[in-house]
Amino acid sequence: DTGVSQNPRHKITKRGQNVTFRCDPISEHNRLYWYRQTLGQGPEFLTYFQNEAQLEKSRLLSDRFSAERPKGSFSTLEIQRTEQGDSAMYLCASTLWAEPANYGYTFGSGTRLTVV
Amino acid sequence: TQLLEQSPQFLSIQEGENLTVYCNSSSVFSSLQWYRQEPGEGPVLLVTVVTGGEVKKLKRLTFQFGDARKDSSLHITAAQPGDTGLYLCAGRTGAGGTSYGKLTFGQGTILTVHP
């Protein structure tokens, strides 16, 4: 297993277009998280899944954003009608959720979105 | 909403100097993690602290979790240019509700170590 994989690494799109990002987590990890990060800031939580169930969505995630994790494996994050304010790094992380253990989160390298 | 405040936001020092980064919150976290991030890459986990008062060492890095599990610090001894990066603290939400296990990040500390 080579870690968390995100595709594409970079995406440039025109305002108003739809974009979709993919995240392939570490295979045995049952939790998958999406974060958004702007330059020089900490990641902001967007949403997370336990297996295929989406357990929480941030208020940051407007109706234009949707995420799925069919079959509890890979996940996709779609942004419809992109706006310039959506320009950011979108990070995916996965972890093995097995209380009471405190496993760290493994992050992918992110997808950098630029909306022009 | 649980918030984590990191300070300082920027730190520019010479090789060989010591430094401390602070992470504070009014909320209690079940655990706290520190990450290091390089430009264009995702954060990489450095350490997880769980018990109030816990101290962990990783070579020249020393991490401490506050007694009340609301704050943490990262101390680097004899900083090297390779330590340059964005340092992030992240608190893990405790039990109760669907936010259990969610990581909330501080805004980060950008460290630059000059040769």
Which residue among B30, B31, B110 sits closest to A40, beta carbon to beta carbon?
B110
Residue B1 in this model has a pLDDT that exceeds 70: no
The pLDDT-based confidence of A80 (bands split at 50, 70, 90) is: very high
Per-residue model confidence (pLDDT) at position B96: 55
| Mutation for testing the B interface, residue in A37, A38, A39 having most B CBs under 10 Å | A37
Q: Given this model, what pLDDT does residue A71 score? A: 87
Give the rounded percent of residues in chain A with a pLDDT score beyond 70: 96
CB-CB under 8 Å, A31 with B101: yes
- What is the average pLDDT value for chain B, to the nearest integer? 91
Q: Is A66 exposed, middle or buried (CB count within 10 Å of its CB: 0-12, 13-18, 19+)?
A: middle
Nearest CB neighbour to A48, from listed B30, B31, B102: B102
In chain A, residues with a C-beta closer than 8 Å to the C-beta of B105 are 35, 42-45
Which DSSP string corresponds to chain A? Answer: ----EEE-SEEEE-TT--EEEEEE--TT--EEEEEEE-TTS--EEEEEEETTEEEEE-TTS-TTEEEE-GGGS-EEEEESS--GGG-EEEEEEEE---TT--PPPEE---EEEEE-
**pLDDT per residue as tens digits for the range A89-100:** 999 999 987 766
Whether B42 and A40 lie within 8 Å, measured CB to CB: no
pLDDT in tens, A55-78: 889 887 889 999 999 988 999 999
Contact state of B43 with A43 under an 8 Å Cβ cutoff: yes
Cα distance between residue B24 and residue A95, in whole Å = 24
Report yes or no: B24 at the A interface, CB cutoff 8 Å. no
The beta-carbon neighbor of A102 closest among B35, B50, B102 is B50
How sure is the predictor about B67, in pLDDT bands with cuts at 50, 70 and 90?
A: very high
Q: State the average pLDDT over residues B44-55.
A: 93
- The residue of chain A nearest to residue B4, with distances taken between CA atoms, is A42
Is residue B99 over pLDDT 60? Answer: no
Residue B86 has pLDDT above 90, yes or no: yes
Residue A1 has pLDDT above 60, yes or no: no
pLDDT tens-digit profile of A5-40?
999 999 999 999 999 999 999 998 999 999 999 988
Yes or no: say if A5 and A70 are a contact pair by the CB < 8 Å rule: no
**What confidence score (pLDDT) does residue B97 get?**
52
**Cis-peptide, bond into residue A8, ω within 30° of zero:** yes
Q: Give the model's pLDDT for residue B100.
A: 62
**Which of B7, B32, B45 to probe the A interface (max A CBs under 10 A)?**
B45
**Token pair 């900083």: residue:** B79
> How confident is the model over A32-57, as a mean pLDDT?
92
**Mean pLDDT to the nearest integer, A75-85:** 97
Substitution target from A105, A109, A114 for chain B, most B beta carbons within 10 A: A105
